[in-house]
Structure 1
Amino acid sequence: MANKLTNAPNLSEVAKRNEPLTELYILVGANAWAFYRKNAKDKATNGQGLDWQTFLDSVDGQNPDRYDSLPIVLGQHQINQLEGVKIAPKGYQIATLVYTEPNPLTQSQIATLCVNLAQNSDIQRLAIVNNIGERLEDLTDYLARIRQGDSVAEVVAENSQAQSSLDMADIIKGASPNDRAKYFIDWCEHTAEPRYQLAYNALNNRIYRYNGKAWESMNDTEILRLITAFFRHYDAKYSLEKVKGVRDCLTLDLPLMGIAKPNLLAFNNGILDKNSLELMPFDPDYWLIGFNPCDYCQDCLPTPNFDKWLTFISYGKDERRQAFLAALYMILFNRTEWQLTLELIGEAGGGKSVFIEVAKLLSGNGNHEGITLKELDNPVSRSKVLDKTFLYSSDEGRYIGDSSTFKKLSSGEPLDFNPKYKDPFSQSVNAIFAICSNSLPIYKNDGGGMDRRRVIFPFDKAVPEQDRDYQLVSKLKGELSGIIQKIISAFPTPDIALKALFIQKNSAEVLALKRDNDHLLDFVQEFDLLPMPSREGLIMGSLLHVPDLSTDLVFNRLYWIYLLYCHHHGIEAKYQLKPKHLERELIQAFKSSGFDIRFSIRTLAQGKRHTNATLKDKNATKQKLQND
């Protein structure tokens, strides 16, 4: 207890009255001043509060001088520092705590208040009543026990037991929905078996409970059943309307969830700080929403299954191996500032899905979400990616479409969300995104914005049937500690990992895959680039006066050659680029194909728009495109 106590509001005035034989009322609650005054901020209205006068009418209605009663007031400021507040003047022996709102004190605070009064006052009889004078609890015995030397812990324990024995059914019955919600929260934290610590996530409009290791989302049925258990515990009658009323109030009364730090990863035996590799005890204030159900071992452990898998998908190439480790490093440390996305493209059974499973382990349970490209492009369906650090599309079909959403995601720009039962809003998503597909996504009218963000891993080898290990993911879970240590030791600094990803990004195997999947990358192989546009370069051309594609006239315009190329390769009209879009995409296509000179256009004599592109070998191109 503090050596010097601060007088509670009204204490000095009560002491001056010197009426120790009268009952001392102690108003307790965040709204205590609004209860006591007509205007909570105006001292001139002391004692004029309608709630205070109604209370006095209930408990002392025969006393004509009842409104002259002067209470001690414990508002939120005093409640937060009960140990340092002098609550009752000397000489007073009877006191009543008046709860001006439901449950303003926790059991621990009630015990602290009792200790305070036992040590710093002469109070002998102490009770708790609600705001209309109904008795809730008698604390007289606790005061006596504390003065006899019992511990605060014992007081808290018995106080909790006494609270549970109260007849709460009538109180719950007459309470408003928000008061029932507060009773429910108190029941969850102090009475329910097991105890529940709840919080509300405003981002996804969900209620979470802390399971001792991490916060887990509760679905609506779980919440309603838990509220029903609360009513049944006190034998209080309930209806679906009452249960839902409590549920609806929880979104306002529960504490808001904080934001988890991406450098923390929960395991079965503690929380790993990925920056320092320190294993820390569990703490709800870390706000982690998942954990890996295995122990983290600080000793360097072997990873034979991970090593075998990594060797297979690396195809004997050291740079490819380092790039895979760097991709996992990016996910492990949530390096969203690199503004890169991962694309695992190729044959089924080649290791793509195992990569996703390892990435999910590194991000932590509850921190990852599967989503298709189509869902991600929809403001309603993409609401499920909020608060995730790793997103993946595990079985994406052929995608040809816009890239604006994916560019915003990787660059940290806000995305628009329109979740059900909530107003639309914008929010950035700090997550790494990985796409698994048999074919490379084609981004239309992209202008290179997405291309510079893509780190592509071609998969062209499948694990032979006889060598497949269907327990591999389970085995990798047991090696997670060693996998993390292996990833970290591979890259003493983040820059080394980033460099490995850029080497993979510009590798020959990636360019070859792009050519096979993006017709423009294949198309530009027919051309050379001059230092600048001139009359020697091809005229760009348009959709006007397009000649018969079987004639030599088609080779007079670059755009007509493009139409011939599309016709030869069976590219449907809806996938063909218009002249304006082609001009823009050719700049990136030549750049992606390794050309040092930038594709450009200039208007020269007679208003003709000449490019700096020339056919490498007109006869060879003619033979290829006009003769099947």
Structure 2
Amino acid sequence: EIRYIYRDGVYQTANDSDIMKILMKYIEDFNIRLINSSVLKQALELLDCTCLHCPHDIMNTSEDYINFQNGILNIRTLELSKHTPELMSSIQIPCEWNGAASPTPNFDKFLNTLTNGDNLTQTLILEYIGAVISNIQGWRFKKAMFLLGKGNTGKSTLINLIANLIGSKNVAERDLKSLNERFGKTAAYNKRLIYSNDLSFMKIEENAVFKNLTGGDSISIEFKNREPFDFKFKGFLLYGMNDLPHFGGDKGDNVYERIIIVKCDNVIPKNQLDPNLERKLFEERNGIIYKAVMALRNTVSRNYQFSITDTCIDNLNEYKRENSYPVEFWTTYTRPLTADEKPSLESQKLYTYFKYWCSEQGLTRVPSFPEFRKEISAFCKQNWGDMTKRIKTGVVLTEYEMNNDWKDEHRFFYYKSIV
């Protein structure tokens, strides 16, 4: 069980030592001679027995409110009220709500540089910041953000800014692979953001945890020396990277549609880097917060939909191809039939070509024929049965043929296979 103390407008976790310090003050005021370790332990045990025990997921469920240092903001009415212990909030944003826009020249310049002047992407980023600092359940959006690009483009600066806006107590730095480990998911407990600003390329065999965290499904988490329990993550995932991870497991649209890929291609020369930029940005935090909340309100009015740009959609489609060996093979080496061509590409022969290509790539595990069909079908948004038909020679693709690149690059293997 986790204990909380309400202090400075927010519920804060408390261990035995924290509770004993409070008990000591009360006992001292009553009779200082009673203070000893035995009395304190007895008082702590009595307190545990008589305390109200609440469900572990009771915190941070009031989605219309953001807990700022100077009060509680209703994001629908923009009214600021006094802190109250009746609002079960363990996340307080280390900023103040001023209720009006204020200049953010450094942030505006930084965001413009990061996005190469793309106003639509700037709007998307502001919406994402607003969602992360809010109390809205992250699974309503079902989106993780990947910032993709080389070093010195501002990825880490943006991620560090967002983490600082939320506060160090409300974030956890974990890569995608560690979340799959036995105790890895504990990092998500009562956190608003899981992030890494320098995610190295990695292969993740299963994406079930990623789906659970972004989709609001219950996950079993286990703290060391404690019984595991089910928990629903309410926050967001944000990662900066030079290369996108390679996911195993389910690769349908229900996974890909949970990812926003923002490419950061504008590399800043080293002699133009500002070592004080993060400090300057954080000094403008109240103005940034105002912009982010106003952008968030627009997403709420659209039923929790971010303004996904066409560029982000293109980035995601490219990722689908790169993250799936069957799709990469399919998009590289097949083409649509022309009007005067008859279907002749047998599905089993297509899979044979694919296996040969996999051997050329040095893959140790080749997707099975059912896996191959499933990933191609998901990419083409068609059932495999609708893409094929049976003729005398076997099952053939109705609308596709191998292209000339395959025939030229694998001339011997191709013509040998059709003899």
Structure 1, residues 230-262: CA drift from partner, whole Å, max 9, x if none? 6666222534x6644544554443344653324
Alignment of 1:610 with 2:385, yes or no, is no
Q: Distance in 2 between matches of 1:558 and 1:387?
A: 48
Alignment of 1:451 with 2:262, yes or no, is no
Count of residue correspondences:
396
Structure 1 SS opposite 2:211 = helix
Higher relative contact order (CA 8 A, sep 6+): 2
Q: Amino acid of the residue matched to residue 357 of structure 2? A: Y
Runs of 5+ in structure 2 lacking a partner?
415-419
Structure 1, residues 90-122: CA drift from partner, whole Å, max 9, x if none? xxxxxxxxxxxxxxxxxxxxxxxxxxxxxxxxx
Q: Distance in 1 between matches of 2:344 and 2:258?
A: 31
Q: Distance in 2 between matches of 1:217 and 1:297?
A: 28
Q: Distance in 2 between matches of 1:312 and 1:496?
A: 30
Structure 1 residue 620: deviation in Å? 3.7
TM-score normalized with structure 1 length? 0.56
Counterparts of 1:374-523 in structure 2, within 5 Å, are 374-378=177-181, 380-400=183-203, 401-448=205-252, 449-490=254-295, 493-494=298-299, 495=302, 498=305, 500-501=307-308, 503-507=310-314, 509-512=315-318, 515=321, 518-523=324-329
TM-score normalized with structure 2 length? 0.80
Structure 1 residue 414: deviation in Å? 1.4
Change (3 A) 1:489 1:237: closer
Q: Is this contact kept in 1: 2:173–2:194, CA < 8 A?
A: yes
Q: Which residue does 1:182 correspond to in 2?
A: none
Q: Is this contact kept in 2: 1:454–1:505, CA < 8 A?
A: no
Q: Distance in 2 between matches of 1:523 and 1:500?
A: 31
Q: Which residue does 2:417 correspond to in 1?
A: none
Change (3 A) 1:614 1:250: farther
Change (3 A) 1:267 1:566: same
Alignment of 1:558 with 2:350, yes or no, is yes
Structure 1 SS opposite 2:129 = helix
Alignment of 1:619 with 2:419, yes or no, is no
Change (3 A) 1:322 1:298: closer
Structure 1, residues 376-400: CA drift from partner, whole Å, max 9, x if none? 2245331342233332234333232
Q: Which residue does 1:524 correspond to in 2?
A: 330
Change (3 A) 1:452 1:222: same
Structure 2 SS opposite 1:564 = helix
Structure 1 residue 279: deviation in Å? 2.0
Q: Distance in 2 between matches of 1:460 and 1:598?
A: 37
Structure 1 residue 527: deviation in Å? 1.1
Q: Which residue does 1:581 correspond to in 2?
A: 371
Aligned with 1:267 (options 68, 81, 89): 68
Change (3 A) 1:468 1:267: farther
Q: Distance in 1 between matches of 2:328 and 2:86?
A: 54
Q: Which residue does 1:236 correspond to in 2?
A: 34
Q: Distance in 1 between matches of 2:151 and 2:43?
A: 49
Structure 1 residue 518: deviation in Å? 4.7
Q: Distance in 2 between matches of 1:393 and 1:339?
A: 18
Structure 1, residues 262-315: CA drift from partner, whole Å, max 9, x if none? 433333322322332222222222232243444332231011111111111112
Q: Amino acid of the residue matched to residue 582 of structure 1? A: F
Structure 1, residues 58-81: CA drift from partner, whole Å, max 9, x if none? xxxxxxxxxxxxxxxxxxxxxxxx
> What is the alpha-carbon root mean square deviation over aligned residues?
3.4
Q: Is this contact kept in 1: 2:95–2:165, CA < 8 A?
A: no
Q: Distance in 1 between matches of 2:361 and 2:184?
A: 36
Structure 1 residue 352: deviation in Å? 2.1
Q: Is this contact kept in 2: 1:530–1:537, CA < 8 A?
A: no
Aligned with 1:356 (options 144, 153, 159): 159
Q: Is this contact kept in 2: 1:325–1:487, CA < 8 A?
A: yes
Structure 1 SS opposite 2:33 = coil
Structure 1, residues 174-230: CA drift from partner, whole Å, max 9, x if none? xxxxxxxxxxxxxxxxxxxxxxxxxxxxxxx22222222322223444445555666
Alignment of 1:288 with 2:113, yes or no, is no
Q: Distance in 2 between matches of 1:537 and 1:402?
A: 36
Change (3 A) 1:487 1:503: farther
Structure 1, residues 135-185: CA drift from partner, whole Å, max 9, x if none? xxxxxxxxxxxxxxxxxxxxxxxxxxxxxxxxxxxxxxxxxxxxxxxxxxx
Structure 2 SS opposite 1:528 = strand
Q: Which residue does 1:37 correspond to in 2?
A: none
Q: Distance in 2 between matches of 1:237 and 1:490?
A: 54
Q: Distance in 2 between matches of 1:409 and 1:264?
A: 22
Q: Amino acid of the residue matched to residue 372 of structure 2? A: L
Q: Is this contact kept in 2: 1:445–1:585, CA < 8 A?
A: no
Q: Distance in 2 between matches of 1:491 and 1:219?
A: 35
Q: Which residue does 1:341 correspond to in 2?
A: 144
Alignment of 1:301 with 2:92, yes or no, is no
Q: Is this contact kept in 2: 1:456–1:510, CA < 8 A?
A: yes
Return 433-442 or 328-337, whichever deviates more.
328-337
Change (3 A) 1:321 1:294: closer
Structure 2 SS opposite 1:410 = helix
Q: Which residue does 1:74 correspond to in 2?
A: none
Alignment of 1:254 with 2:51, yes or no, is yes
Change (3 A) 1:227 1:609: farther
Q: Distance in 2 between matches of 1:471 and 1:352?
A: 15
Identity of counterpart residues, as a percentage? 21
Change (3 A) 1:237 1:219: closer
Change (3 A) 1:377 1:266: same
Structure 1 residue 438: deviation in Å? 2.5
Change (3 A) 1:313 1:457: same
